[in-house]
Amino acid sequence: MLTEKGPAVIEVGARLGGDFIASYLTKSSTGISMDRAAIQIAMGTEPDIIPGQGQYSMIKYLELPAGKRVLDVLPADDIRRLPGVVYAHIFVKKGDSIEPLVHSAMRPACIIAAASSKELLLERMGICSTELAKKIVLT
């Protein structure tokens, strides 16, 4: 708001980063919960930001061929139990059309994994993302 003394901030709608950065990636890499730290700060207490681990983590969003239709979505519980998998979710539903990706909300599925080395993480991610893609049956 513009006041007699110059600009003044009335309200700030700050939020943590999206795309699972705050909720999963930071915690799986460092052991630090950004969500918890943000709440602690909002409550006026010192945030707990002491790293509890040091490993690699990454997220992979699946890309599916545009123009296809989802015939079925199979359960993915077995994928979530694979070594290193932190989170896996399929966003598309039976009957959905796969459209060209033009924004992040159109991603059909994602998987987050962690490992002690970059090489192991890439190996795990390759296996896990391939298996997750098999859970989405297309026409």
- 38 and 2 in one domain? yes
- 82 and 19 in one domain? no
Q: What is the pLDDT along the chain (139 residues), one digit of tens a residue?
A: 899 999 998 887 778 888 999 889 999 999 999 999 999 998 999 999 998 888 999 999 999 999 999 999 999 999 999 999 999 999 999 999 999 999 888 999 999 999 999 999 999 999 999 999 999 999 9
Token couple for 87:
């989170």
Beta strand residue intervals within 1-96, DSSP E? 2-3, 6-7, 56-61, 70-73, 85-90
Q: What is the DSSP string of the chain?
A: -EETTEE----------TTTIIIIIHHHHHS--HHHHHHHHHTTS----------EEEEEE----TT-BEEEE---HHHHTSTTEEEEEE---TT-B-PPP-SGGG--EEEEEEESSHHHHHHHHHHHHHHHHTTEEE-
For 77, 81, 127, 134, the CA distances from 131, given in Å and listed in that order, are 11, 12, 6, 5
pLDDT of res. 14: 74
pLDDT of res. 10: 84
- 69 and 34 in one domain? no
Range of the domain at 40: 1-54
- 59 and 49 in one domain? no
- 65 and 46 in one domain? no
Neighbours of 129 (CB within 10 A): 18
Which CATH number is 93's domain given? 3.30.470.20
Q: Residue 25 is which amino acid?
A: L
- 34 and 3 in one domain? yes
CA 51 – CA 90 distance, rounded (Å): 30
pLDDT of res. 91: 97
- 70 and 43 in one domain? no
Non-local CB neighbours of 12 within 8 Å, separated by 6+ positions:
none
- 70 and 47 in one domain? no
